Amino acid sequence: MNDLKIFSGPANPPLTQDICRYLNLPMGKISLGRFPDGEISCKIDEDVRGRDVFIVQPTCPPVNEHLMELLVMIDSFKRASSYRLTAVIPYCGDARQDRKDSGRVPITAKLVANLITRAGADRVLAMDLHAAQIQGFFDVPVDHLYAAPVLNNYFSSMDLPREDIVVVSADEGGIKRAVGHATRLGAPLAIVDKRRLSADTTKPANLIGAPVDGKTALMFDDMISTAGSICSAAEVVHRHGARAIYAAATHGLLVGPAVERLRAAPFKGVIVTDSIPLSEEKLLPSVTVLSVASLLGQAIKRIHRNESVSMMFQ
């Protein structure tokens, strides 16, 4: 592991510190700042020539700032003659713009993939991309991790009676994810059928599948952004008589009215991971933050040793 170096961007240093602690490695030394006109400055404060370098930088809000910081860091390490450079992106911003759903709009996820590749990244390590096909947008290898084991282990540790659990998909797009959780937790599946009115507004319609009356409903998603969809779905599940409702997502963006919506929603608990740092005002009493540092750390170690990453999930 002596040739392995892990550096953190400004987006989420605590997560990088936890990864380094898991691997028993010191965090790499790098200085990022701003010139008087706001331009990003970067200086690597240690030798990385011939080293296997990993940069941890989720492109969470402010997305454009963190993306540009990542690109500048990648260029710095390539010019410093690192042997191999892996961009570790626990949360990939712009991933929702993965297709042309109307005329005259960009496919920003592909643009971002091109930027990261052309900047000089040799590999990408991502977690719970909004759409799995985004892996194909990159012209370099992509290792795609899932936080499902971390979320499932949390609920398993609660010792909830298996016969009282129902896994609920907040919409038809999350059915595959919900089926995976239901299979591993040994629970039946229910689906909230909803109608999308606009890009950020949906209207729940019906509840399909297993009954939730008197049950504990577990709702899974890849992210909670404005919380509109998952809170609307929770209202439907609540009206159908669920005894307790938990929401779980990998990425807790919690932007716009999300905090107010979650505070008013009938959730007994909201579980997210530390792929994105949460500010104090977003840490509601009902919010629990789980760490994915060991998951990322194990993947980094496997990549460094040229071992299989997919074996982690088998």
Q: Are 20 and 103 found together in one domain?
A: yes
Q: How distant, in Å, are the alpha carbons of 75, 78, 303, 310 from that of 122?
A: 12, 10, 12, 19
The closest of 153, 158, 157, 202 to 181, measured between CA atoms, is: 153
Q: Are 112 and 167 found together in one domain?
A: no
Q: Are 162 and 125 found together in one domain?
A: no
Q: What is the pLDDT of residue 193?
A: 84
CA 36 remoteness from chain centre: 33
pLDDT tens figures, 213-246: 999 999 999 999 999 989 999 999 999 999 999 9
Q: Are 272 and 156 found together in one domain?
A: yes
At residue 303 the predicted structure's pLDDT band, cuts being 50, 70 and 90, is: very high
Q: Assess contact for 296 and 90: CB atoms under 8 A.
A: yes
pLDDT at 196 over 90: no
Given 43, 100, 194, 215, the catalytic residue: 194
Q: Are 107 and 230 found together in one domain?
A: no
pLDDT at 289 over 80: yes
CA 121 remoteness from chain centre: 20
Q: Are 81 and 118 found together in one domain?
A: yes
Q: Are 78 and 158 found together in one domain?
A: no
Choose between 122 and 202: higher pLDDT: 122
Pair of tokens at residue 312: 């982690």
Q: Domain count of the chain?
A: 2
Q: What is the pLDDT of residue 313?
A: 87
pTM listed for this prediction = 0.94
pLDDT tens figures, 98-146: 999 889 999 999 999 999 999 999 999 999 999 889 999 999 999 999 9
| Weakest mean pLDDT among 69-83, 98-112, 198-212, 248-262 | 198-212
Q: Are 141 and 8 found together in one domain?
A: yes
Q: Are strands 189-198 and 201-209 parallel, antiparallel or unpaired?
A: antiparallel
Q: Which residue has the tokens 């960009």?
A: 106
Burial 230-249 (b: 16+ CB within 10 A, else e): bbbbbebbbebebebbbbbb
Q: Are 273 and 168 found together in one domain?
A: yes
At residue 150 the predicted structure's pLDDT band, cuts being 50, 70 and 90, is: very high
pLDDT at 82 over 80: yes
Domain CATH code at residue 112? 3.40.50.2020
Q: What's the mean pLDDT in 32-54?
A: 97
Q: Are 102 and 49 found together in one domain?
A: yes
pLDDT at 200 over 90: no
Burial 155-181 (b: 16+ CB within 10 A, else e): beeeebeeeebbbbbbbeebbebbeeb
Print the domain residue range for 238: 148-290
Q: Are 129 and 159 found together in one domain?
A: no
Q: pLDDT > 90: what percent of the chain? A: 88
Q: Are 138 and 42 found together in one domain?
A: yes
CA gap 92, 96 in Å, rounded: 9
At residue 198 the predicted structure's pLDDT band, cuts being 50, 70 and 90, is: low
**How much is the mean pLDDT over the chain?**
94
Q: What is the pLDDT of residue 285?
A: 95
78 is catalytic: no
